[in-house]
Amino acid sequence: MMKYISTRGNAPELTFEDVLLTGLATDGGLYVPKDVPKYSLEEIESWRDLPYTELAHKVVYPFVEGCVESDALKGMLEDIYNNSNFGHKAIAPLQQLDHNEYVLELFHGPTLAFKDFALQLLGRLLDYVLERRNEKVVIMGATSGDTGSAAIEGTKACRNVDIFILHPHGKVSEVQRRQMTTVTGDNIYNIAIEGNFDEAQDMVKASFGDQTFLRGERKLVAVNSINWARIMAQIVYYFYSSLNLGGPLRPMAYSVPTGNFGDIFAGYMARKMGLPIEQLIIATNSNDVLHRLMSKNLYEVRPLQHTITPSMDIAVSSNFERLLFDLYDRDGKALADLMTTMNKRTETVSLDEEKLAKAREIFDSLGVDEDATVETMQQVFKETGYLLDPHTAIGVKAARECRRNPNIPMITLGTAHPVKFEDAVLRAGYKMPELPHHLTDLMAREERMSVLPSDIEAVHQFIAENTFGK
């Protein structure tokens, strides 16, 4: 059975089941697998003809073995990755832009962003585990866009999960709001906070810190990418895309639009498991804390900027700690010290040159501002007639700037559908694309949400009223 350890070396080892139900480790670290399964090229090659669901079973099962029955996992994956849930039969199809240049379309799921790949699975895993333990939990999250709708879609059928998603009232796009508020299910609560995203986020953080409002009857579960189960589900599409382009017999390069470093860390995991990946590109928007660290070896947290790529707007990138853990030879003590310094945010921090050099063997990085994002959308449209969403455009820009070897296929992760990001599409001078066929009635569906003041007591009271005595 796979064991999980904390990056800071001072928390109990956990099973998958406990990791699923835990946010941060008790020492403040993040959980990672203790031993990563490693596959030979022959073994990976033997998976070439598997459809997405079967490949997902190969990749995911070793991480959950002992906690989830093989057949139960198979059932969940079949329930998720099929043509009635995903709007494309290939689940994660490749779109070619140029010779040896591709976009991996990860936006055919129910909410049109890659987060569906993981949150659909997370919801089913939670319900499976909670059913067996005869427990119920509360999911609480704040969203400025993609995470909230994907979490709601992923948990709407859960019997043992009530989900409360806070969004800033009037400050998310209509498509994104409707993707949250029109989902039916008596365990779903959309809270529109009369305040901004940061206030909503702060209330969620404070609630995780002090859960007494749940009277000890329930626990809060995190659905952001500090939850290992999310990373795990995202490893699959690196294998899938590589196998589709002649891997593992030839290496691939990936460019990943990055915020919290979750999606790209999944690529790093695929590489650790034996998939030949030559290069991983960290593509950021002007919230470029990681690009500055990678290029100048200076870690300096700056205030958050709101951009036309809201799903990558972060000040700190939490999953980067999982990579640092490996760079520091999995020395939890060393990492705990490093993270303490990095989290002080009073001065700039540098990594050991030797550790950074190890990262640079695999990773390159680029920060892309709004003008360059829009220009890339226009450039690719002129070249191919294909409209990129602005997050994916950042990935394509970085792929083109940072590519090391033109003979190696370069795959940019297409993280969202452009229809979700009206501001960027209009700014680039294009008409809004049509909603994909499974969402054509989105604008006509009935909405349900509760507007609350930006006051944590009011939010806690609302959660308590709707959680207990149902």
Ligand X SMILES: *Cc1c(COP(=O)(O)O)cnc(C)c1O
**Is position 113 an interface residue for ligand X (rule: CB under 6 A)?**
yes
Residues 134, 168 contacting (CB under 8 angstroms) = no
Residue with tokens 């936006």: 107
113 or 275: CB nearest ligand X? 113
List 3, 34, 115, 171, catalytic entry = 115
Footprint (CB under 6 A) of ligand X, residues 314-333: none
CA neighbours closer than 13 Å in the CB half-sphere of residue 406: 4
Q: Which of 225, 241, 279, 285 binds ligand X (CB under 6 A)?
A: 225
Least separation, in Å, of the C-beta of 193 and ligand X? 20
Longest dimension (CA), the chain: 62
**Is position 425 an interface residue for ligand X (rule: CB under 6 A)?**
no
Footprint (CB under 6 A) of ligand X, residues 144-163: 146
CA neighbours closer than 13 Å in the CB half-sphere of residue 153: 26
Binding letters toward ligand X, positions 269-298, x by CB under 6 A: ------------------------------
Residue with tokens 């002129």: 382
CA–CA separation, 201 and 168 (whole Å): 10
Q: Name the CA dihedral angle for 442, 447, 448, 452, rounded to a multiple of 10 degrees.
A: 110
Binding letters toward ligand X, positions 380-399, x by CB under 6 A: -----------x--------
Q: Give, for 289, the enclosing helix (H) or strand (E).
A: helix 289-296
Q: Which of 258, 279, 307, 376 binds ligand X (CB under 6 A)?
A: 258
Closest CA to 17 of 92, 58, 101, 73: 73
**Is position 428 an interface residue for ligand X (rule: CB under 6 A)?**
no
68 or 411: CB nearest ligand X? 411
Least separation, in Å, of the C-beta of 223 and ligand X? 12
The phi and psi torsions of 66 (rounded to 5 degrees) equal 90, -20
255 or 467: CB nearest ligand X? 255
Footprint (CB under 6 A) of ligand X, residues 125-144: none
305 or 341: CB nearest ligand X? 305
Q: How many residues bind ligand X (CB under 6 A)?
A: 16
402-441: buried (b, 16+ CB within 10 Å) or exposed (e) per residue? bbeeeebbbbbbbbbbbbbbeebbebbeeeeeebeebbee
**Is position 178 an interface residue for ligand X (rule: CB under 6 A)?**
no
Least separation, in Å, of the C-beta of 190 and ligand X? 18
Q: Does residue 136 have an active-site annotation?
A: no
162 or 288: CB nearest ligand X? 288
**Is position 22 an interface residue for ligand X (rule: CB under 6 A)?**
no
**Is position 376 an interface residue for ligand X (rule: CB under 6 A)?**
no
CA–CA separation, 74 and 154 (whole Å): 17
Q: Which stretch binds ligand X (CB under 6 A): 25-33, 167-175, 254-262, 450-458?
A: 254-262
Taking CA atoms, 412 is separated from 31, 69, 257, 364, 398, in Å, by 27, 34, 8, 14, 9
Helices 353-362 & 320-327 angle (0-180, nearest 10) = 110
Tokens for 16?
A: 């998958």
113 or 396: CB nearest ligand X? 113
Tokens for 174?
A: 């209509």
Binding letters toward ligand X, positions 332-361, x by CB under 6 A: ------------------------------
Tokens for 455?
A: 């006051």
**Is position 262 an interface residue for ligand X (rule: CB under 6 A)?**
yes
Q: Which of 117, 197, 261, 325 binds ligand X (CB under 6 A)?
A: 261
187 or 227: CB nearest ligand X? 227
Q: Please give the distance of CA 262 from its chain centroid, rounded to a whole number.
A: 5
Q: What's the alpha-carbon Rg for the chain, to the nearest Å?
A: 21
Name the site residues for ligand X (rule: CB under 6 A).
Answer: 113, 115, 146, 225, 257-263, 311-312, 391, 415-416
Q: Which residues are catalytic?
A: 115
